[in-house]
Amino acid sequence: MAGSRDRDAAVGGDMDPEEFRREGHRVVDWLADYFAHPERFPVLAQVQPGDLVRALPSRAPEGPESFDAIFDDFTRLVVPGITHWNHPGFFAYFAISGSGPGVLAEMLAAGLNVQAMLWRTSPAATELEEVALGWLRDLMHLPPAFEGVIYDTASVAVLHALAAAREAVIADVRTKGLLGRSDVPRVRVYLSAHTHSSADKSVILLGLGKDALAHIPGDANHAMRVDLLREAIAADRRAGILPLAIIATIGTTSSTAIDPVHEIADLCEAEGIWLHVDAAYAGVMAMLPAWRHAFRGAERADTLVVNPHKWLFTPFDCSVLYCRRMDMLRQAFSLVAEYLKTTEAAPVRNLMDTGIQLGRRFRALKLWMVLRYFGASGIRQRLEAHVELARMFAGWVDSTQGWERLAPVPFSVVCFRHHPAGMDDEAVLESHNAAIMDAVNASGEAFLSHTKLDGRYVLRLAIGNIRTEERHVRRVWALLTEAAAALPSM
Ligand SMILES: Cc1ncc(COP(=O)(O)O)c(C=O)c1O
């Protein structure tokens, strides 16, 4: 026996459970302090390219190191290179937000190290995904015909949605592919000029080619023009080009514009075209009665994506695709090798059948815990508070001389810029506003990003962080106005 113990010790084994307990408490304590005061770090990392690479050894350690030393390097070297998405002054891109229950769920999922490729490789992971996505679907007032599946990101979700559409539209694509086929016409995917770039990437990756993309111009509010969409489809049909899908967005990336999904869904029905709705950011607002009008028609989509990791307080990453044509998704992605075949007493769902990945993380756990911990009412209350803060900020922009708003505020993002009297050249306005943004971002107190709308450089204030309060929005407004006042106005 002693011999076998010696052998086991020589082989290695994991961290001692008592050490894990001790260090685990230390890590949780560190995180609890961090969540209590994320403002003690600058929101935008104030490091230079290469700083961390230079600070770390170029070779992996040959011998073991103590967790103490590793954790010390984490706090001393790694944390300064973190841009703090948890900081209440994070207003850039979409201010995505994790939350305590979500982080604890991630810890449990990592501890269990679940790999949910098959029902039997963790029945609870498969079934919890079904339950949590059913809850979310009902909260968003989507029909039961929608079956959900979790991916990492909306970029991957749209790739799967378009692959399912390709499967539905192009005969035998799974078997015969696309190359060298005289029986396959050119195809088109219609999207707006403001659709997220991940849709373009998916079309490229699916072998349809960039020429298959038809970017339909937007109206004054940056929503897709359905009259132009209709014309484009008719012209394509006359030219023998086959419509493959239309992508409508509720909450575009730049300005959170809302495409007229209801009208687009009518068109899709009349023309027999696959409708994908991108509600990656704003989808959760379908939980609020006052916003339901923005989602009219979404219930008729073939596929719809919503990202709990954006505005549902679920730590990155977690993106949900709802699909009413799961048969097409399975036809595109199911391929069961001998070593993955199973027999169960009753039919089961194997998550590997609905995606490119075989191995899958247990992402449903964090969504389920977040939905339970805050409850639907707690989530609605937080979303409404964010919209209120955005409206308050928009009000300051509207009522302050020298500032202008460049898009409506349907959700929690404000597009605006400083526009001093007499400064009308777009290039000058761009460098003026970029300088304001850089000054604010250098403060470490707030982080903003920009976009362009109709060729004009625009600052974006995105509210979505669970810790953002009125005082943080007041502070960023003060920083913006101070930065603007410090710059030459001509
Ligand atoms: C409307 C919209 N769709 C899709 C995406 C892509 O999201 P992800 O980072 O989950 O791929 C984004 C990202 O911000 C987005 O704003």
Give the model confidence (pLDDT) of 292-326 as tens digits: 999 999 999 999 999 999 999 999 999 999 999 99
Q: Is 465 in the pocket of ligand 1 (CB under 6 A)?
A: no
Domain finish residue from 361, 394, 412: 361
Mean pLDDT in residue range 4-27: 84
**443 to 42, 240, 436, 471, 487: CA distances (angstroms):** 8, 56, 11, 16, 16
Q: Is 307 in the pocket of ligand 1 (CB under 6 A)?
A: yes
User: Are 92 and 132 found together in one domain?
Assistant: no
Q: Is 249 in the pocket of ligand 1 (CB under 6 A)?
A: yes
The answer to the question of residue 71 being in a domain is no
The ligand 1 atom nearest the CA atom of 279: 1
The ligand 1 atom nearest the CA atom of 251: 1
Summarize the chain as % helix, strand, coil (round to 5). Answer: 50, 15, 35
User: Are 290 and 427 found together in one domain?
Assistant: no
Q: Is 195 in the pocket of ligand 1 (CB under 6 A)?
A: no
Domain count, the chain: 2
Q: Band the pLDDT of 4: cuts 50, 70, 90.
A: low
The answer to the question of residue 482 being in a domain is yes
Q: Band the pLDDT of 8: cuts 50, 70, 90.
A: low
Rounded to the nearest whole angstrom, what is the distance from the C-alpha of residue 155 to the centroid of ligand 1?
6
Distance of alpha carbon 16 from alpha carbon 350, whole angstroms: 35
User: Are 313 and 405 found together in one domain?
Assistant: no
Q: Is 94 in the pocket of ligand 1 (CB under 6 A)?
A: yes
Q: Is 196 in the pocket of ligand 1 (CB under 6 A)?
A: yes
pLDDT of residue 207 exceeding 60: yes
pLDDT of residue 237 exceeding 80: yes
Rounded to the nearest whole angstrom, what is the distance from the C-alpha of residue 154 to the centroid of ligand 1?
5
User: Are 336 and 391 found together in one domain?
Assistant: no
Rounded to the nearest whole angstrom, what is the distance from the C-alpha of residue 24 to the centroid of ligand 1?
33
Distance of alpha carbon 446 from alpha carbon 137, whole angstroms: 34
Q: Is 256 in the pocket of ligand 1 (CB under 6 A)?
A: no
Residue 350 tokens, joined: 């194997």
The answer to the question of residue 326 being in a domain is yes
Substitution candidate for ligand 1 out of 160, 281, 311 with most atoms within 8 A of CB: 281
Domain finish residue from 307, 328, 361: 361
Residue 128 tokens, joined: 């919890």
User: Are 93 and 186 found together in one domain?
Assistant: no
**Strand residue runs (E) in 213-287:** 213-216, 242-249, 274-278
pLDDT of residue 6 exceeding 90: no
Residues 6+ apart with CB under 8 A from 168: 274, 325, 328
Distance of alpha carbon 104 from alpha carbon 236, whole angstroms: 51
Rounded to the nearest whole angstrom, what is the distance from the C-alpha of residue 93 to the centroid of ligand 1?
10
Rounded to the nearest whole angstrom, what is the distance from the C-alpha of residue 310 to the centroid of ligand 1?
8
The answer to the question of residue 70 being in a domain is no
Asked if the peptide bond before residue 317 counts as cis, ω within 30 degrees of 0, the response is yes
What is the pLDDT at residue 12? 82
Substitution candidate for ligand 1 out of 153, 196, 205, 284 with most atoms within 8 A of CB: 196
Residue 319 tokens, joined: 């993106």
Distance of alpha carbon 31 from alpha carbon 422, whole angstroms: 49
The ligand 1 atom nearest the CA atom of 307: 10
Q: Is 122 in the pocket of ligand 1 (CB under 6 A)?
A: no
The answer to the question of residue 450 being in a domain is yes
User: Are 203 and 146 found together in one domain?
Assistant: yes
CATH number at residue 192: 3.40.640.10
Give, using CA atoms, the residue closest to atom 9 of ligand 1: 153
User: Are 220 and 293 found together in one domain?
Assistant: yes
User: Are 87 and 133 found together in one domain?
Assistant: no
pLDDT of residue 330 exceeding 70: yes
The answer to the question of residue 122 being in a domain is yes
> Which among 407, 402, 387, 411 has a CA at the least distance from the CA of 468?
387
pLDDT of residue 9 exceeding 70: no
pLDDT of residue 97 exceeding 90: no
Mean pLDDT in residue range 169-177: 94
User: Are 250 and 290 found together in one domain?
Assistant: yes
Residues 386-426: pLDDT tens digits? 999 999 999 999 999 999 999 999 999 999 999 999 999 99
What is the pLDDT at residue 272? 97
The ligand 1 atom nearest the CA atom of 152: 10
pLDDT of residue 1 exceeding 70: no
Rounded to the nearest whole angstrom, what is the distance from the C-alpha of residue 255 to the centroid of ligand 1?
13
Residue recorded with tokens 């229950």: 101
Rounded to the nearest whole angstrom, what is the distance from the C-alpha of residue 196 to the centroid of ligand 1?
6
Domain finish residue from 361, 391, 424: 361
Residues 426-473: pLDDT tens digits? 999 999 999 999 999 999 999 999 999 999 999 999 999 999 999 999
User: Are 19 and 120 found together in one domain?
Assistant: no
Mean pLDDT in residue range 127-132: 98
The ligand 1 atom nearest the CA atom of 253: 16
Residue 128 lies in domain: 115-361
CATH number at residue 414: 3.90.1150.170
The answer to the question of residue 77 being in a domain is no
User: Are 356 and 382 found together in one domain?
Assistant: no
Predicted TM-score (pTM) of the model is 0.95
Other CB atoms within a 10 A radius of the CB of residue 259 amount to 31
The answer to the question of residue 64 being in a domain is no
User: Are 203 and 274 found together in one domain?
Assistant: yes
Q: Is 280 in the pocket of ligand 1 (CB under 6 A)?
A: yes
Q: What is the DSSP letter of 90?
A: B
Q: Is 198 in the pocket of ligand 1 (CB under 6 A)?
A: yes
Give, using CA atoms, the residue closest to atom 14 of ligand 1: 253
Residues 474-487: pLDDT tens digits? 999 999 999 999 99
Rounded to the nearest whole angstrom, what is the distance from the C-alpha of residue 458 to the centroid of ligand 1?
19
Q: Is 322 in the pocket of ligand 1 (CB under 6 A)?
A: no
